[in-house]
Amino acid sequence: MTLNIESRTKTVSETGLPVDEIVVNIGPSHPSTHGVGRVLVHLDGDIVVKADMIVGYLHRGIEKMAENRTYLQVCPLTDRLDYVGSMYANWAYCRAVERLAGIRVPERAEYIRVIVCELQRIASHMMGIGSAAADTGATTMFIYAFDVRERIIELFEVLCGSRLTYNYVRPGGVSMDLPEGWTDDVLKFTSTVRRPLDEMDKLFFGNTIARGRLKGVGVLSAEDAVAWGASGPTARGSGVNWDLRKHDPYSVYPRMEFDVVIGDNGDAYDRDRVRLLECYESVKIIDQAISQMSGGAYKADGLARLITPPPGDAYDHIESARGSLGVYLVSDGSPRPYRMKVRSPAFCNLALVPKLAVGHTLADLVVVLGSLDPVFGEVDR
């Protein structure tokens, strides 16, 4: 595997004139690829004529590793998939295991899962908006967004002792009950978080330069969004009303009142702004969940440490911060999964880069990439 690339190629344009294209290699280590993505961009002047998105630089073979671990031992691996939103992969995996093994989850555990996942959604969206802003050069916005994220990380640290890889949602419930006073801390957070969110809305989305950079860039039509399998804020930014929390309800989401935020134009601005507005909805959901939550068990009773589901297969998905995150599990009756497949939303969204970037300038390519909010742990698995 070598990294050498030809930096110039000669092609003929549609009009028959020879074009001297410059090939710019962006990545795999580049400040705006959000990890280890790589884009080979063919430029005609400053206009992208072809963008080849190359992924796989973080392919760790988690699906293969899962085949040699018990169902419980796979949980920590799922943390490392989407490292910006570890709770989601935990939950999606646990839902698939629960469906496969027929485990009933207590109500309190479902509420706890909803609370932590909505907190995680805010944290993840903050990272998404922040890094999308940093791609356009607004470093300060990134730091403000990260500040909000840091407050959530502190809450999680109190909850399960870890800052990033929580391993909190387990098959049958959650790993431990909420610490005393934790819900008060969360309520304190939700009552104060609107101010920084408003501030960010003004600082970045109200800024003339930012609007000029984001509006009209990487326009994705609603039909294309559905056909290309886009989900989450990427699809909702294009006006596709598709949110698994509403349209394929799971857990206790049917009891929650919230709106699905959708954009109008399907450009980078809409995708990024949908993320910000979803944070307000998440705050609403957290408040409702805390007020509805009652006591009880946080974990299913009589759950064996070694889960041995009957042979069969199960697929379950949740709405993660990046879209519909699904886990497909095949069991052969042994204590280890026969096959685990993670349907990664970031992977499907990222497949749109070659489509969206063409016709824009090089400066817009990083905006397009940022607006899809890829996390390469999940893309490459």
Partner 1 sequence: MNLDELQHRLSELSPVLAPFFSLEFGDAVVGVSSDKLLETARELREIGFDRLGMVTAVDRGEFLTLVYRLQSRSLSSALFVKTKVSPAEPHVASLFEVWPAANWQEREVFDLFGIVFDGHPDLRRIMLPDDFDGHPLRKDYDNPAMIRRPDYI
Partner 2 sequence: MAIVDKLGAALDNGAAGAILTSVDALADWSRGQSLWPMPMGTACCAMELIAASFSKFDFDRLGTFPRPDPRHTDVMVLAGTITEKMKPAVKRLYDQMPDPKWVVAMGNCTVPGGIFYYDTYSVVRGADSFLPVDVYISGCPPRPEALQDGILQLRELVRTESISRGKRHARNLLLPGAPAGASDGGGDAE
Partner 3 sequence: MTSLLWGALVGLVCGIVIAVAALLGVWAERKVSARIQLRLGPQESGPFGLLQTLADTVKLVLKEDITPTQVDVRIFRLAPLLVFVPAAASLSVIPLARGWAPFNIATGALFFLAVPAISVIGVLLAGWSSRNTFASIGGIRGASQMISYELPRTLSVLSLCVLTGSVSAVTIHDSFRWWWIPLNAMGFLVYFIASIAELNRGPFDLPEAESELVAGYFADYSGIRWAVFMMVEYGGLVAAAFFGAAVFFGGGLGIGGPVGALIFVGIAVMIVVTMMWVKWTYPRMRPDQLMNLAWKVLTPMALVQLLLAGIVTAVIPWH
Q: Which is nearer to partner 2, 127 or 225 (CB)?
A: 127
- Which of partner 3, partner 1, partner 2, none sits in contact with 246, Cβ below 5 to 8 A by type? none
Dig out the tokens for 179 from the structure.
């610490």
CB-based contacts of 316: which residues, under 8 Å, 6+ apart? 92, 95, 96, 98, 99, 250, 326, 327
Question: Residue 251 Cβ, how far from partner 1 at the closest point, in Å?
Answer: 17
Q: Does 143 bind partner 2 (CB under 8 A)?
A: yes
State the nearest-atom distance from the C-beta of 193 to partner 3, in Å.
16
Site for partner 2 in 151-180 (CB under 8 A): 153, 163-165
Closer of 149 and 341 to partner 1 (Cβ) = 341
Return the one option of partner 1, partner 3, partner 2, none that residue 91 interacts with (CB less than 5 to 8 A, by type). Answer: none
Residues in binding contact with partner 2, number by CB under 8 A: 37
Complex with partner 1: residue 226 or 252, whichever CB lies closer: 226
Q: How many residues lie near partner 3 (CB under 8 A)?
A: 34
In whole angstroms, the minimum distance from the beta carbon of 193 to partner 2 comes to: 16
193/379 with CB nearer partner 1? 379
Q: Which of residues 333-362 bind partner 2 (CB under 8 A)?
A: none
Specify the stretch interacting with partner 3 by CB under 8 A; choose among 23-31, 89-97, 102-110, 229-237.
23-31
140 contacts partner 3 (rule: CB under 8 A): yes
Residue 154 sits in the site that holds partner 3 (CB under 8 A): no
- Residues in 9-48 at the binding interface with partner 2, rule: CB under 8 A: 28-31, 35-36
User: HEC string of the chain?
Assistant: CCCCCCCEEEEECCCCCEEEEEEEEECCCCCCCCCCCEEEEEEECCEEEEEEEECCCCCCCHHHHHCCCCHHHHHHHHHCCCCCCHHHHHHHHHHHHHHHHCCCCCHHHHHHHHHHHHHHHHHHHHHHHHHHHHHCCCHHHHHHHHHHHHHHHHHHHHHHCCCCCCCCEECCEECCCCCCCHHHHHHHHHHHCHHHHHHHHHHHHCCHHHHHHHCCCCCCCHHHHHHCCCCCHHHHHCCCCCCHHHHCCCCCHHHCCCCCCCCCCCCHHHHHHHHHHHHHHHHHHHHHHHHHCCCCCCECCCCCCCCCCCCEEEEEEEECCCCEEEEEEEECCCCCEEEEEEECHHHHHHCCHHHHHCCCEHHHHHHHHHHHCCCHHHHHC
Q: Which is nearer to partner 3, 22 or 49 (CB)?
A: 22
| Shortest CB 173 distance to partner 1, Å | 21
Is 98 near partner 3 (CB under 8 A)? no
Q: Which residues bind partner 2 (CB under 8 A)?
A: 1-3, 28-31, 35-36, 56-61, 64-65, 67-69, 76-77, 80, 83-84, 127, 142-143, 146-147, 150, 153, 163-165, 376-377
Q: Which residues bind partner 3 (CB under 8 A)?
A: 7, 22-25, 30-32, 46, 133-141, 143-144, 147, 203-204, 207, 209-210, 212-213, 361-366
